[in-house]
Amino acid sequence: MHETFYIAIVDDHTMFRKGITALINLFPGYRVLFDAANGKDFIHQLKPPHLPDIVLLDISMPEMDGYATADWIRVNHPGICILALSTMESETAIIKMIKHGARGYILKDADPSELQLAFRESLSKGFYYNDAITGLVLQAVGDLFNNNTRELAPGKLTDRELSFVRHACSEKSYLQIARDLQVSERTVDGYRESVFKKLKVSTRVGMVLFAIRTGMVKL
């Protein structure tokens, strides 16, 4: 008697989602439990205790992207194996996804047999990485040993930081923001640094996107 493993698929393109679903249902020993258009949809459709063994997670999605969804899964259902599925071959995307807890990274133009292999490997060994990206994985692992700030604290912002963020959601330069807030350029630089750390972003655009997604600023 063979055990059946359950898969969930999260991707914003319906056609791709349904296609992959049909494909996976042809794999012996695997069934698609459900599919979702984004992270929010996924969370909404999750009905414990019927959890998927593996989540196939696209990175770029509206509403709630792959990184945010991976965070949520890691916190709320650490037993679920996260496999990232993306067209992007960019190092940063891969490393970022690994840092967010993905156990594997599969390119959308890989062969379906690789997908099946990824299922097997990640369930038995706990991870699956393509030869092409193993190097990147090792580098990311190194980073985790060095400066791992793995607390995913919400990171509440202070009043000053909040008003800084609101000013930053504009075309103003940091120098202009400093003048508006009646503080020095260095002080604003300090706001930036602490906000980046708290929101876990690395660029001003990332901060703006975060602020809008979470409703910190209204448009």
Partner DNA sequence: TGAGCATCGGGGAAAACCACCCTGTTCCTT
Partner DNA sequence: AAGGAACAGGGTGGTTTTCCCCGATGCTCA
Binding site for DNA (CB under 7 A): 96, 147, 149, 156, 158-161, 172-175, 181, 183-187, 189-194, 196, 202-205
Find the binder of its own copies among 4, 139, 158, 202 (CB under 8 A). 202
Which one of 41-49, 76-84, 104-112, 136-144 is the stretch in contact with its own copies (CB under 8 A)? Answer: 104-112
Shortest Å, Cβ 111 to its own copies? 6
CA angle in degrees (0–180, nearest 5) for 146-211-171: 105
Encoded one letter per residue, x for contact with its own copies by CB under 8 A and - for no contact, window 158-187 reads ----------xxxxxx--x--xx-------
| Residue 10 binds its own copies, judged by CB under 8 A | no
How many Cα atoms occupy the beta-carbon half-sphere of 1 within 13 Å? 1
Sequence-separated (6 or more) residues with CB below 8 Å from residue 206: 199
Report the first-to-last Cα separation within the chain, whole angstroms.
56
Q: How many residues bind its own copies (CB under 8 A)?
A: 49
- Round to whole Å and give the CA distance between 73 and 55: 9
Nearest to 197 by CA among 140, 142, 157: 157
Per DSSP, the three-state class of 21 is helix
Find the binder of its own copies among 4, 29, 44, 62 (CB under 8 A). 62
- Round to whole Å and give the CA distance between 123 and 206: 33
Query: Of 123 and 183, which CB lies nearer to DNA in the complex structure?
Result: 183
| Residue 20 binds its own copies, judged by CB under 8 A | yes
Query: Of 186 and 218, which CB lies nearer to DNA in the complex structure?
Result: 186
User: Are the beta carbons of 35 and 18 closer than 8 angstroms?
Assistant: yes
Nearest to 8 by CA among 87, 60, 79, 92: 79
Sequence-separated (6 or more) residues with CB below 8 Å from residue 133: 94, 105
| Residue 135 binds its own copies, judged by CB under 8 A | no
Query: Of 51 and 88, which CB lies nearer to its own copies in the complex structure?
Result: 88
Interacting residues toward its own copies by CB under 8 A: 12-16, 18-23, 25-26, 62-63, 85, 87-88, 90, 92, 106-112, 115, 168-173, 176, 179-180, 201-206, 208-209, 212-213, 218-219
